[in-house]
Amino acid sequence: MKNLSKVRVAALGAVGLAGVITPLALAGPASAANPGNGAVVIKSQAQADLLMNTQGGVINKNVDVPQGVNVQLRYVDIKGNLNVEGTLGLASSQIEGDATVSGPGAGLSLFNDPGNHFWHDLTVNAAGGYYDGSWINTGLGVYSNGQQVDGTLSFTNNTGSRMSLNCDPGAMTVHNFIYSGNALPYASSGLNITGTSSIS
């Protein structure tokens, strides 16, 4: 009789676990709710160098540069999204997903010609930026010609940083451009805007 009770308890336990597991399985993978899950998190230049020298620089995941990290990526093809909370120097690379730069120590510098190609949107929002010799930090710095954003370049709510276009006039091509809520007014001819613009 005792053995039979143990079997029943075991069976009930299995049903109880199945009842818990089934809704989780139906909800789909956790990455569906958070696109950052499974991302390559770059914590050092040595890790960035390894990514540049592996599989021809093709990165088949989202990439995250966390706060406090300062790295460079050159000649890479990021198939997913790029999230920058630290500082990233990016050269002659492709970003096939969306790119976001945000956070108290976040900044992005674009260099090399041919430049970087963003297939979708590049958003710099509330970025604290990095020191670039100016009295105000730089949230987005463009240091070479040939940069391209096929979607929208948004530079918004950057009260402690600036957009610095240190390139020839019209040397950075963006489809749409949004500039609002920033510390400095927009005063640059460095962008070639092929779509719409909203500057305030």
Same domain, 115 and 141: yes
Same domain, 27 and 40: no
Q: Can you count the helices (H) and strands (E) in the chain?
A: 3, 18
Same domain, 105 and 153: yes
Read off the pLDDT of each residue in 152-171 and give the average, rounded to a whole number. Answer: 89
Per residue in 18-37, pLDDT tens? 333 333 333 333 333 334 55
Same domain, 62 and 155: yes
Same domain, 54 and 83: yes
Same domain, 95 and 24: no
Same domain, 136 and 175: yes
Same domain, 44 and 23: no
191-193 vs 172-180, strand pairing mode: parallel
Same domain, 57 and 16: no
Q: Which neighbouring-strand residues pair with 87?
A: 70, 107
**Backbone φ and ψ of 138, nearest 5°:** -110, 120
Per residue in 49-108, pLDDT tens? 999 999 999 999 999 999 999 999 999 999 999 999 999 999 999 999 999 999 999 999
**pLDDT for the residue numbered 51:** 97
Coil, helix or strand at residue 66: coil
Name the average pLDDT for the chain. Answer: 84
Q: How far apart (Å, rounded) are the C-alpha atoms in residues 59 and 80?
A: 8
Report whether pLDDT(151) > 70. Answer: yes
**pLDDT for the residue numbered 17:** 33
**Backbone φ and ψ of 2, nearest 5°:** -65, -40
Q: What residues make up the domain containing 22?
A: 2-32
If one compares 25 and 178, the residue with the highest pLDDT of the two is 178
Q: How many domains does the chain have?
A: 2
Same domain, 148 and 186: yes
